[in-house]
Homo-oligomer: A and B are copies of this chain.
Amino acid sequence: MTPKVLRWLAERIGTPGASASVVPDAALEVPSSSLPRRTRAGLAAVVGAEHVLVDPAERLGRCGGLSYLDLLRRRRPELGLTVPDAVVLPADPDQVQRVLDVCVEGDIGVVPFGGGTSVVGGVTALRGDKEAVIVLDLARLDRLVSLDPDSRVAVLQAGVRGPEAERMLGDRGFTLGHVPQSFERATIGGFAATRSAGQASSGYGRFEDMVVGVRLATPRGEWRLGVAPASAAGPDLRQLAVGSEGTLGVLTEVAVRVRPAPAAERYEAFALDGWQRGTSAVRELAQRGLLADVTRLSDPDETDSSLALAGGWKTALLRRYLRGRGIGEPCLLVLGWHGASAREIARRRRAAIRVLRPEGAVALGAAVGEAWRRGRFAGPRQRDALLDLGVCVETLETATYWSRLDELRDRVRAALRDSLDHPLVLCHVSHAYETGASLYFTVLAVRDEADPAGQWERAKRAASEAIADGSLGTITHHHAVGTDHAPYLRAEIGDLGADVLAAARRAVDPTGILNPGKLV
């Protein structure tokens, strides 16, 4: 963090009281492993003793994901770390199945673990009613199993990380096009388990739109789904497996729709005057089928922060230029185009600009778009730095229909402002559909060092209730449920929905070993 950023932050939210760095592993008291000897031997027989890790550092390394509470606990371990009893690394889907068999036998909880990037507590090593819990780390399931270029279907193992997937597919001329902020670490299995949506979802679709088949290991044996692009053979059970967050089985392979790698890309930015013009423009693009592959609209506060952080005389000039063009309250719109040729992109751009112009959009050119692109995976690192500085920083996201979007934004902003002391609340639309859009909030406040977890909990509850109240929006558009959103899922899917999920879970996992305490 530069002095400029620190000054900006102090002006917006006040001066943080105390910095707090991550406590080194050596300084932490790690409970010894409760894994029964018999189970440990059984696991070693499946994956090899060298892939059953009980070393404190290995277990600490998979005790959670990247949620605010996860990050906070690494700085304030007195809040309670949830350390698994072992980390198990199977080599292939068959070994995953046999690991589950051993855990059923021993009645051991199993937390499937991909990149460990859950921001909602999805990989916290909760025990539930089990005496021990293992983390099932899928890192060794790292293969491209097959690629069918005619059908544009690739089968990837669950532990393949985003960049590796792109590299392996890219070698054959294809791309998945799935680039969420967690891209650098997150895995194919995690994308599917959480209904991930990437930054380019307007062009490539949400991850669940890409999934054509799944292979799961479950306590009752292997389960495969997906024999055709579309089917009327009853409910789409693929869409039950997708988003099941490890509670209906461990995804071992995912068949995904791929596309030719784009030969051309172009990122650029526009400014629109105010939230209404901005969302109206994005809605028009979405409903006319003219969205760029990446389409991201910042609200005035987020835009203002971006401009302030860019800083200096250039920003001052830009603000003046925009005012001269009638834009007093700029909303930044980033468009990223991927295409088979520059010509194809040019054609799509022209059509989009015909929609943007009547909305008063002012082109800011490629440099601003490219700047966004360069920094697009930096969020998690910035978050770590802010946490070190004593800032309470959280992101949360929701989605709703267009006609309710303003109300939803207003209510979440009000909830965050009422529940925190002088917070900075930024918002953007990153995923637009014909019928509605997502809202992504970033909130910063001076951390309450006396009760940092309580501060977060109050704000999270206020925001979540604002979303859930009257079914105004979904509790999560692409971060999944985990533990953070579990209290609000029932309101969204009804008691019957929760009962159906619980019944499905019992059907595949009668003794409840899979990801205890998550989802429902």
Contact = CB atoms under 8 A, between A and B. Distances in A.
A504 B494 contact: no
A473 B220 contact: no
Contact of A433 (B229, B506, B519): B229
A479 interface: yes
Interface stretch (A69-77, A230-238, A299-307, A330-338): A230-238
Interface string A319-354: 000000000000000000000000000000000000
Interface string A211-244: 0100000101101110111111111110111111
A229 B435 CA distance: 6
Interface residues of A, number: 84
B402 A231 contact: no
A178 interface: no
Contacts of A400: 227-229
A497 B150 contact: no
Nearest to A207: B232
What copy number does this chain have within its complex?
Answer: 2
Interface in A149-182: 150-153
A459 interface: no
A493 interface: yes
Among A240, A471, A476, the most chain B Cβ lie within 10 Å of the Cβ of A240
Interface string A384-407: 000000000000001111111000
Contacts of A404: 151
A59 interface: no
A232 B504 contact: no
Contacts of A362: none
Contacts of A437: 229
A318 interface: no
Contacts of A479: 232
A436 B235 contact: no
11 contacts: A195-B232, A206-B230, A212-B435, A229-B433, A232-B480, A234-B519, A237-B240, A239-B240, A499-B507, A500-B507, A503-B504
Given A148-B402, A197-B230, A236-B240, 10 more contacts: A218-B496, A223-B497, A227-B472, A230-B474, A234-B243, A234-B519, A235-B504, A240-B500, A259-B434, A503-B507
